[in-house]
Structure 1
């Protein structure tokens, strides 16, 4: 029976990940989130839809320095850890405070580190292998106004992913990350304006992402088919990393004719 821990499980991506694992017959799941009511509701839905899954909840704030103690049982560590929880507030740089900066780093970087280390120690002690997947973001490689703390945290999370992969790989513990593009999650905890969503959701595949797009990638990275993959950052973004379809041709047809370059190679 696969034992899975998912943080941010009351949110769109976290819940989609939890549901994907719950659909596996016999999955044993621990779902964590800072919102107890929403978390309980999500867990109840999973229990009703997937009777074969064992679902327990842990309401906690990942900013707590001892968060790993409440989520990782050293005598019964999870086979899979999915660090899906994340904070992405918007605050202009000139209005940034150390407190606002530190909270984002604590949730987005320190908590995944603490959970990965705690799970790694327990798995090594038990002589078992495992898989960790962190949820990063396209912001790890592209800054934007109001997101200095968020973008920095995701860049750090990607390096944390590689560092953990290097040190835990010899113990048979794989650590990877997915980096979603814009995904519609309708989260009251992390609201996004339609103006922003429209501006960032242009990609070669022509649609916004949905949580199940990310959940499928996470599930695959945790499985046997990805058994020789560690330290990877999988961009699940509709092709946004490759480029954009939003820009016009920088030359029009008439310009090409006038320059004599039309049809040349």
Structure 2
């Protein structure tokens, strides 16, 4: 009889070297971009809305030392996280219902197909009339923009559940709630996490846009104010902060995916021998 064993192998030295090389290449690319920007700011673009790298760094240092900057950054992060959390909770609950009950799925499919292509910025004027330029307005726009990928992925995962497992659980007397918790949700986890990653990538962007265009409090509104005031060094410093926060947001979502799906074959490093 053949014996099947599952062994976990640590990362090899080649993998570590490849990762180090990627970091070095990325750092070199960043330095080249900064050098090109500096040459342009001191040469053909001098005197325009393109400050030098040193001026932008000075603007960044000035921002970090201001309490209002941290308050605005906290507002933006709170808007993105609260809106994303509400979207995930609502999307998963609705997705389980829509995916489990075929009549409800067929009844609402047309409505979902009509609403999901509408971007949040299109509904912003209506939301502004109802809520004004407030944090609640930003939270609603993030919720609206992030709901659809989570909902659609959850429905797809629920409808992809193995019917044999469901019938077996039903024959053992499992109720609808037990089947959903023990079979449907674990089977749909990969779909749901994918939807959360798609939504999470958009959450921070939507939050900033709601502040930049809609006037909600946050670093997006600070960016708009700096642009109108001609504070270009501060404006580009805020753009840099947005890029760093967006990168951290995506990195955190990647870590969340690995934590949630540590058992999934696409995440774990296991070899069947």
TM-score, scaled to structure 1? 0.25
Bigger radius of gyration, 1 or 2?
A: 2
More strand by share: 1
Q: Larger RCO: Structure 1 or Structure 2 (Cα < 8 Å, ≥ 6 residues apart)?
A: 2
Structure with higher helix content: 2
Q: TM-score, normalised by structure 2?
A: 0.25
